[in-house]
Amino acid sequence: MFSRKSPAWAAVLASALAAAAAPGGVVHAALVASSPLVGTQAKSFAAYARASLAHPELGRLGHALYFEDPSCPSKGAEPLGPPSIATMIPAADATAATAEAEKLLSALLGRFGLSRAQAVSAVPDTGLTMVSPAAAGRPWSISVLVAPQGLVLPIDGRAYFVPSALIALHELGHVARIAPGETTPARHTGAGDSVYEIGPALEQVVTTDEVYKRVHGLALDRVVAYPKRLPANGRGLELGVLANTMRVLWARYGTMEAALLSDEGLRFVGGYYKSVCP
């Protein structure tokens, strides 16, 4: 949810770890290796992590989504500004957006026979997925820690809102991409944040766009002009265009990574991001 190079990420991690270490601890929902959601997209993600190396335009898109920087990914990257995708829902819509986002989360969890309490832990100001390796008789598990009231973010003099359920959907996207028993997620094995985050971030764009349209009674295929554009070549990439395009391809190909690697996905992304890196 946050760049791991940013002060916001450091604050999130410190908050989560402090809550877990407090007297009595925090009882986290933990999904074990046999949980039905864990690793459901691991093969698709692994294939994408390998194939994306031949498509620098995909790396640039991932970097833009996560670092607000359309240049080629680098290990020492620092975010150039607050994430554009956090400016899609104004804080004034918080109550209605929360209700609509919860419906989307409930639909996803229901497909796997899970409740919110089983899959998501409430930790203030947090959007985090934590893997706990097997140790001392304790099984491998993965926990999703999410701000229960969502996040209100001041950006460019305006207040925006990210519903708790959309944070949870983003983090559960990571759960689906991590193979059962995996202790070193792909971002630590050469894939990097721009690869690891692109699927959940694009899913967040699509779902946030749907929530906004539900709140305002708009047709799902309408292109919304959101306040910020994603950094890209030229004038940038409109988030409304990105949401509508990837919604169609996601439905067609089953996973966001497969959608990106399709001929249509590569053409779309290549129209906004250069296909070469120095």
Return the higher-pLDDT residue of 184 and 188: 184
Bridge partners for 19 per DSSP: none
C-alpha separations of 182 from 31, 115, 201 in Å? 13, 24, 21
- Enumerate long-range contacts of 186-190, CB under 8 Å, 24 or more apart: 186/45, 186/46, 186/49
> What pLDDT, in 10s, does the model give residues 29-85?
789 999 999 999 999 999 999 999 899 999 999 999 988 888 887 655 666 677 899
- For residue 132, what pLDDT is reported? 86
- For residue 163, what pLDDT is reported? 98
- For residue 12, what pLDDT is reported? 52
- For residue 28, what pLDDT is reported? 67
Percent above pLDDT 90 for the chain: 68
> What pLDDT, in 10s, does the model give residues 129-157?
888 888 888 899 999 999 999 999 999 99
DSSP 87-147: GSSBGGGHHHHHHHHHHHHHHHHHHTT--HHHH-EE-TT-EEEEEE--BTTBPPEEEEEE-
- pTM passes above 0.75: yes
The pLDDT mean for the chain works out to 87
CA 135 to mean position of chain CA atoms: 28
Return the higher-pLDDT residue of 223 and 194: 223
Bridge partners for 159 per DSSP: 154
**Measured between alpha carbons, how far is 160 from 249 in angstroms, rounded to an integer?**
28
The model's confidence at residue 6, banded by pLDDT at 50, 70 and 90, is very low
pLDDT at residue 19 above 90? no
> What pLDDT, in 10s, does the model give residues 242-258?
999 999 999 999 999 99
> What pLDDT, in 10s, does the model give residues 74-118?
655 666 677 899 999 999 999 999 999 999 999 999 999 999 999
CA 87 to mean position of chain CA atoms: 14
- Which tokens sit at 222? 């309408």
- For residue 76, what pLDDT is reported? 57
